[in-house]
Amino acid sequence: MQGERYWEIDAARGIAVVTMIVFHSAFDLNFFGVLPLPVSGGFLRMLAYMTASTFIFIVGVSFTISYARASQRLAGRDLALKYARRGFTIFGYGLVITAVTWLFLPSVYIVFGILHFIGAAILLAPLFARFSPASLILGSVACTIAGFITNAVPGPWPLLWLGIHPASFASLDYVPLLPWFGIVLAGMAFGGLFYPDGRRKFALRTAEPAPARALSFLGRHSLFIYFLHQPLILLLIAIIAPEAMPGLW
């Protein structure tokens, strides 16, 4: 049970990996002036929101499964340390992204992006593990409402993580706790309903269907792909449109 994975969760994450690559490819082509693509609105913007929402929802589902299993082996300080280590590790990966983007794109560098958010969400999620699915849904709605309020009110830079920021703020990737933590709570509610005690509650064929295998593979290696895909996209752009990146060669 400890290491058991559910292919449907990996496959859903794999779909998000594919849509992430599609959107980032379109974004980079537009950003470097190769193709004028409408990444700030329309279908591509909706694709970006769908991708982020899927990843974040699965964070909540996966946490519920992991926490239920870990609680059978660990308690107290050991249980808390498990998720503290995981949260700080992923947040640290986010800081690497911050450093890289600050060096190469200082005007729009990533301050609190998806990895910062996931790290912070994992640190906070244990505080909500004891709540019922109904309470988690109420918390999700509250986060969504609070997010609309905070995003409409400009504020000082140190509150970026919460969703409050100066009017002039710009970043390539910005995922504040409000409203996005509400999606984590919704995922936790889903996990509590359909994967109680870390076990699949509903009937589903155990064997992974062939069409889902590639997606499941991508889902199992999503963090590695996240770090690798952007350099590869940029390399391909530099090859097919070297005039877009004259300083690379």
Q: Which long-range contacts (CB under 8 A, 24 or more apart) does 101-107 make?
A: 101/172, 105/172, 107/170
* Structure-block tokens of residue 84: 């503290």
Q: Give the closest residue to 57 by CA, choosing from 170, 154, 137, 174.
A: 137
Q: Which residues of 186-198 are buried (b: 16+ CB within 10 A; e: fewer)?
A: bbbbbbbbbbeeb
pTM of the model: 0.93
Amino acid identity, position 42? G
The strand ranges marked E within 3-155 are none
The predicted structure's pLDDT at residue 152 = 81
pLDDT tens string 157-175: 999 999 999 989 999 999 9
Banded pLDDT at 1 (limits 50, 70, 90): very low
- Judge residue 58's burial from the number of C-beta atoms within 10 Å of its C-beta, 0-12 exposed, 13-18 middle, 19 or more buried: buried
pLDDT beyond 60 at 199: yes
What gap in Å lies between CA 208 and CA 174, rounded to an integer?
A: 35
The predicted structure's pLDDT at residue 96 = 96
- Judge residue 249's burial from the number of C-beta atoms within 10 Å of its C-beta, 0-12 exposed, 13-18 middle, 19 or more buried: exposed
Residues in the chain: 249
Cis preceding-peptide flag for 179 (omega within 30 of 0): yes
On the CB side of 129, CA atoms within 13 Å amount to 23
On the CB side of 221, CA atoms within 13 Å amount to 10
The predicted structure's pLDDT at residue 23 = 97
The predicted structure's pLDDT at residue 4 = 81
